[in-house]
A and B are shown apart, each in its own frame.
Chain A
């Protein structure tokens, strides 16, 4: 009995430790005062109103959304082809690619951002949506490729053989068997990619300008000038939005599938 109690105490402690920063930010966002301070000394929703109406945030959110949708979709297309290549074909360098897919990334985000800043200047693309999207594709690609890679590996090759045996041409096998079976992986990869893109900061800082800034960059710029809790309110809204997206995904696709715990 006490073992179970101990187990739950430990689990609660870990959960608390992991969520404490978010809890502090959310609590601060309700602070009626003009100063970012913790703990709050009252309750007010005024900073939420400010967050939702402040033009910089509105613009940045729109830009961020466009960037996230386009870059994660591009990453999905590229990552899926990449995963297919690695799983289905034998070619020189295959092991290297497979290694990249299955190990954590080694290039820091700010390096990627800095690189694209220099490249953008050279190509005359600086601070355009194009260069931001290019940057984000690089950042989220591994996550999409990895999600699809895992779901492809999990497909029993006999499913495809069986379909061919029953008369399905290679195209039919792909469209009726393979793709439907990796859809959860693709959806999961795409979702993780868009959330990452939406909240990415360090690389975006290099490649955006005030006209094209994404939400995290706008928040950073805001906090450099003002000290009121609006940024905390934006953070809380982002957390809620992310949670809603994940809950919807869970409802329609099943979180097990999204997280590739159970591939088919």
Chain B
């Protein structure tokens, strides 16, 4: 099954899909490279499945084009598209056993029986399913069904592997394990993969690049690290990971020094953001992640220090999430290691927070 170097590219060009009165996908353009693991991430109803269905040919786009290796496939019926789809519900054929399920695509291609047997066995082996050939699919656990669905899709050596939330039906431990296996499978096969999820953790850990979608439109296409550290807009900033959105601030620029006036009492020092040329007096949105805010010493009074009252501690084992009510800003969340913060800053007490803007996300308002 070593199909390395056999990846295919997928180009989605200005694709729009309108159902009776909803626009499910709006002018989406994506270039997915050979062998790339591309994830479509977004909230429920943002058009992920619809986009995947158009690549597989189950839906026809209202406008735009879809190309595989540069060739427009809009007129190719689903059964000739050579995409391998894994459905969220797995859609294993209930009237067939494991072997027949995996062999289905090969039989449709009229391969000789001996070859089919060898291919299916190889796929079973790869998915750690050896010995299950004769089992009815209904008797299998969620994780096993998931593997069979994957085996069934890769055994036909598709040009693109399409995965529609394949892990969402599994419990947490199994999901983490399958994430690892999926990653390994991708490395082994080198298949161009489009993976759909609404779990941002999954997206960040698996993908070469992530497409964040909202209401049918692409918000950002980036590698995971860039997505987390440099979200392109407020939607992405708040959708990926947890983040504090501060009230709109006025930028005061003098030379290379930047100050952001969040409210009359609070101004924070910062620097020129990476991809934004700020003008004096411009309004901006500042986003800052909980792990970048710290509890400052009690007598601390320097720059970027704000004061507030502790409203809640949420202990989560490796860290504690603390909620502080800061006059002029509102509730601010911060994250500290272990449980130290719970003793250090009792509920209701006033504490000082250090809010450096070095890693904050600053976007034009």
Contact = CB atoms under 8 A, between A and B. Distances in A.
Interface of A: 156, 158-159, 161-170, 172-173, 176-177, 180-181, 264
B354 interface: no
Contacts of B79: 164-170, 172-173
B91 A158 contact: yes
Nearest to B94: A264
Chain A at the B interface: mostly helix, strand, loop or mixed? helix
A159 B82 CA distance: 17
8 contacts: A161-B91, A162-B93, A163-B93, A163-B104, A165-B84, A172-B79, A173-B79, A181-B94
B276 interface: no
Interface residues of B, number: 25
Contacts of A168: 79, 104, 108
Nearest to A184: B95
Contacts of A176: 104
A161 B85 CA distance: 9
A166 B87 contact: no
B228 to A, nearest CB: 33
Given A165-B153, A166-B108, A166-B153, 20 more contacts: A156-B91, A158-B89, A161-B58, A162-B93, A163-B93, A163-B104, A164-B58, A165-B56, A166-B79, A166-B156, A167-B79, A167-B82, A167-B105, A167-B108, A167-B156, A172-B79, A176-B104, A181-B94, A264-B94, A264-B95
Contacts of B105: 166-167
A180 B93 CA distance: 10
B83 interface: yes
A180 B96 CA distance: 10
Interface in B87-121: 87, 89, 91, 93-95, 104-105, 108-109
B85 A165 contact: yes
Contacts of A166: 79, 84, 104-105, 108, 152-153, 156
A177 B107 CA distance: 13
A180 B156 CA distance: 23
B104 A181 contact: no
B163 to A, nearest CB: 12
Contact of A162 (B77, B80, B81, B91): B91
Interface in B36-88: 56-58, 77-85, 87
A170 B78 CA distance: 10
Given A166-B105, A168-B104, A168-B108, A158 B87 contact: yes
Contact of A161 (B78, B80, B108, B109): B78
B104 A159 contact: no
A165 B84 CA distance: 6
Contacts of B153: 165-166
Given A164-B79, A165-B79, A169-B79, A177 B93 contact: yes
B93 A172 contact: no
Contacts of A173: 79
Going nearest first, the 5 A-B pairs with the smallest beta carbon separation are A166-B105, A167-B108, A158-B91, A162-B91, A164-B78
A167 B89 contact: no
Contact of B78 (A159, A165, A177, A181): A165
A161 B56 CA distance: 9
A180 B100 CA distance: 14
B162 to A, nearest CB: 8
A254 to B, nearest CB: 13
Contacts of A158: 87, 89, 91
B89 A156 contact: yes
Nearest to A170: B79
Contacts of A181: 94-95
Interface string B129-161: 000000000000000000000001100100000
B108 A172 contact: yes
Contacts of B81: 165
Contacts of A177: 93
Contacts of B91: 156, 158-159, 161-162
Nearest to B81: A165
Contacts of A165: 56, 58, 78-79, 81, 83-85, 153
Nearest to A172: B108
A214 B63 CA distance: 62
Nearest to A169: B79
A13 to B, nearest CB: 38
Contact of B87 (A162, A167, A169, A180): A162
A241 B80 CA distance: 50
B46 to A, nearest CB: 20
